Amino acid sequence: MAFLTDRKRAVGMGSAKSGTHHHWQMMVTSVALLVLIPLFVFTFGTILGAPYAEVIAYYQRPFPAVVAILTMLVGFFHFRLGVQTVIEDYVHGFARKAAIIFMICLSYAAAGFAVFAIIRIAL
Amino acid sequence: MRCRAGQCAPLKGTTMADVNRGNRPLSPHLTIYRPQWTSITSILVRITGNALLVAGLLIVWWFVAAATGPAAFALADGVLTSWFGKLVMLGSIWALWYHSLGGLRHLVWDSGRMLDVASSERAGQAMVALSVVLTIITVIIL
């Protein structure tokens, strides 16, 4: 045991197990979204309300399509992290686990459908 | 705790962990405090973040509909550009800017800056004001 540092013995022993990983992911996605959100608002906002053919042509351009894909991926991953924290604060017992699993699946499904749709339009 | 032949059961009307459960003094909660800029702006970050799911799912539907074809697109686009859809989008633009500024405040806090009460309150006031300004600018541009 003398070879183990105090830190090494403590790692993974807390109630959260994974330590600061959730918070770190939150920070990384926050920084990414600070760039992506303005880009998405002003690309998606520009084309929302346009006729079908114009929308399809717009999202066949690489920049609006990639911005939309990244925003959906990072945005829903950020949401999945945030909503888990909220559920952990307000929901208890079995309902907590059920709610977290449901919201994680919903977030990934939403991102999956969005990315598939944008790629299908773009290609 | 009552034990017989190696089997233990909690006493009637109690639980195993704590015999005084439900009969203890509670620390003061939300209702007892006067609203503060720090608490209200923090709660609003949480509310806006979760509320953005509505706009998020509407936008996913819009993309899926556009990928499906003109008829599906007409329905989704009709909902998003209706007066109700526009109301949701307007609210979501404000929620988006507000939540982004809230996230920026968290990143500043995480760097160890502006952690005193006066700075936090000023940051909260700035978030509210800036989010409204950004919303107005966005509506004018788009």
**pLDDT of A12:** 73
**pLDDT of B138:** 94
Residue position matching structure tokens 């009460």: B117
Q: At residue A9, does pLDDT exceed 90?
A: no
**pLDDT of B67:** 95
User: CA of B75, closest CA in chain A: separation in Å?
Assistant: 11
Residue position matching structure tokens 């978030």: B127
**pLDDT of B14:** 52
User: CA of B110, closest CA in chain A: separation in Å?
Assistant: 9
DSSP string, chain A: -TTS-HHHHHTT-STTSSTTHHHHHHHHHHHHHHHHHHHHHHHHHHHTTS-HHHHHHHTTSHHHHHHHHHHHHHHHHHHHHHHHHHHHHH--THHHHHHHHHHHHHHHHHHHHHHHHHHHHH-
A5 within some domain: no
Q: At residue A17, does pLDDT exceed 70?
A: no
A3 within some domain: no
**Chain A interface disruption, residue of B30, B44, B59, most A CBs within 10 A:** B59
Taking residues B113-140, report their average pLDDT: 94
Q: At residue B9, does pLDDT exceed 60?
A: no
A8 within some domain: no
Q: At residue A41, does pLDDT exceed 90?
A: yes
Distance CA(A37)–CA(B97), nearest Å, equals 9
A11 within some domain: no
**pLDDT of A118:** 97
Higher pLDDT, B10 or B40: B40
A52 within some domain: yes
Distance CA(A53)–CA(A73), nearest Å, equals 25
A37 within some domain: yes
A40 within some domain: yes
Chain pair A-B, CB pairs under 8 angstroms: 84
Taking residues B92-110, report their average pLDDT: 96
| Three-class SS of A48-68 | CCCCHHHHHHHCCCHHHHHHH
CB contact under 8 A, B49 and A82: yes
**pLDDT of B8:** 57
Mean per-residue pLDDT over chain B, rounded: 87
Query: Which domain CATH number covers A25?
Result: 1.20.1300
User: CA of B88, closest CA in chain A: separation in Å?
Assistant: 13
CB contact under 8 A, B63 and A113: yes
Taking residues A76-80, report their average pLDDT: 97
A interface with B, Cβ–Cβ below 8 Å: 27, 30-31, 33-34, 37, 41-42, 44-46, 48-49, 52, 55-56, 59, 68, 72, 75-76, 79, 82-83, 86, 110, 113-114, 116-118, 120-121
Cross-strand bridge partners of residue B2? B9
Taking residues B29-58, report their average pLDDT: 90
A9 within some domain: no
CB contact under 8 A, B50 and A82: yes
> What residues make up the domain containing A109?
21-122
By CA distance, what is B95's nearest residue in A? Answer: A37
If one counts the domains in chain A, the total is 1
CATH number 1.20.1300.10 is the correct assignment for the domain at B36-141: yes
User: CA of B82, closest CA in chain A: separation in Å?
Assistant: 10
